[in-house]
Amino acid sequence: MEQRLSIVTLVVEDLPRSRAFYEQLGWSAADSVSNDQVVFFQVGSLIFALYSGAALVEEVGMARAEGFGGITMAHNPRGKNDVDAVLAAAKEAGATIVKEACDVFWGGYSGYFKDPDGYLWEIAWNPFFEILEDGTCKLPD
């Protein structure tokens, strides 16, 4: 796993309200990849996302009440085949696999693990996001 963070996601109860809040602060959402369940913002070399709590429960199969604090981190490897390798390395290091990697509805390939302190990580290959040479995860224009 490359030493870089691709996405920080806040799980929110009211996505339109949260999106409006950040847009009123002057942030611009990437409408080309945002929808009624998730909103993405390019913030320097990282992506900041707002994700519907109900959508996350459906995707991961894990409720907030199960020790999840409402924030996830994502690491986007450079290739689809790298997802399984990163999950295996995380498990070997002591992580708990929450969801095995699989093809997902939005067109990518991802899985989830919890680190030893319970923080949730998504390992996702996303064919719509470019990983630049310096590790920047770039939203489409």
Domains of the chain: 7-138 (3.10.180.10)
Question: For the segment 42-80, what is each residue's pLDDT rounded down to a tens digit?
Answer: 999 999 999 988 887 788 776 665 656 788 899 999 999
- Read off the pTM: 0.82
Looking from the CA of 45 toward its CB, the CA atoms found within 13 Å total 9
Contact, 110 vs 125, CB < 8 A?
yes
Closest CA to 123 of 52, 91, 67: 91
- pLDDT tens profile 4-22: 999 999 888 889 999 999 9
The answer to whether residues 122 and 116 touch, using CB atoms and an 8 Å cutoff, is: no
